[in-house]
Amino acid sequence: MGDDVTTKTMKLRYPGHCRDCGTQLPAGTTAVYDKAAGTVQCLTCRTGAEPPVAEAPPPVESGTAGASARREFERRAARREANVRAAHPRVGGLLLALFDDPQTTKAWATGARGEEVLGRGLDRLAEAGVRVLHDRRIRGTRANIDHIAAGPSGVHVIDAKRYAGKRPELRVEGGILRPRVEKLIVGTRNCSALVAGVLGQVGKVRVALDNAGLEDVPVHGTLCFMDANWPLFGGSFAIDGVAVLWPKRLAERLLAAGPLDQARIDEADRALAAAFPIA
């Protein structure tokens, strides 16, 4: 049976499910796309042939936590070393030994260490059924998502931050006479831009899940601060729907009961791995 005016046989850009038999169709599968209905149909259902024996899908590559930040640090450090040695052939090695990398370079190493430590902790949750993707690229941009974790409560988009010894706080300004404004303060700095960054990543993940037919899967945004100066009691909070917390509290959220069973968790993990490649 040929295509009609509303359907097209094509390789799928995003994973989906056959509207007739429910078979999972990974990205790259040739199928029939119905533009008017926004659905896809496998070729078996289209032609009426007997369905082939399903093959086990390949394992999901989780990626390496902090890999892209580590590469950027090494690139900047190598460039600085080459420039110093070229400018000072005789004493370049001594200058490099006496003076540290600039803060703009060291920040990449600090970020990489935070992602690596958090990544190892998240990987330990695999035995409990939590699925984690590390260091995933957002297509069409130079940005990446530190971690994406899928558990019973939904998908968690996690941005890891390492602000040693500094306390994250929620500051509320305005109210009766002025608009109420919430700010994320870390130490003495206004870091509210971090919240906006996570919300942008949450939006990208939401679109990817919707395109995969996983509209029922909740998405949560999280800022996880490593080595911060958290109080003995309380401390975690939410700002604009983004949770601000530490690794142990994050693990509790990922393991908490929710609407997703293991099959749905694995399905979300596979769809997001396809939508966000390893950075």
pLDDT attached to residue 119: 94
Per-residue pLDDT tens for 180-237?
889 999 999 999 999 999 999 999 999 999 999 999 999 999 999 999 999 888 889 9
pLDDT attached to residue 220: 98
Distance CA 16, CA 40 (A): 7
> CB atoms < 10 A from the CB of 161, how many?
22
The reply to whether 52 falls in a domain is no
pLDDT band at 130 (very low <50, low <70, confident <90, very high): very high
Which of 47, 62, 79 terminates a domain? The answer is 47
Which helix (H) or strand (E) segment holds residue 9: the answer is strand 7-11
What range defines the domain where residue 11 resides? 7-47
Per-residue pLDDT tens for 28-76?
889 998 888 888 998 888 877 655 565 677 888 999 998 888 988 889 9
The reply to whether 262 falls in a domain is yes
What does each C-alpha distance from 57 to 97, 226, 266 come to in angstroms?
51, 35, 11
The reply to whether 25 falls in a domain is yes
Strands (E), 84-180: 131-137, 144-151, 154-162, 168-173
> pTM of the entire structure?
0.75
As a residue count, the chain comes to 279
Mean of the per-residue pLDDT values of the chain: 90
Residues 258 and 180 in one domain: yes
pLDDT band at 152 (very low <50, low <70, confident <90, very high): very high
Residues 241 and 145 in one domain: yes
Domain count, the chain: 2
- Coil, helix or strand at residue 50: coil
The reply to whether 26 falls in a domain is yes
Residues 255 and 130 in one domain: yes
pLDDT band at 175 (very low <50, low <70, confident <90, very high): confident
Higher pLDDT, 120 or 180: 120
Residues 268 and 136 in one domain: yes
What does each C-alpha distance from 224 to 55, 86, 169, 205, 264 come to in angstroms?
38, 41, 13, 18, 25
The reply to whether 34 falls in a domain is yes
pLDDT attached to residue 168: 95
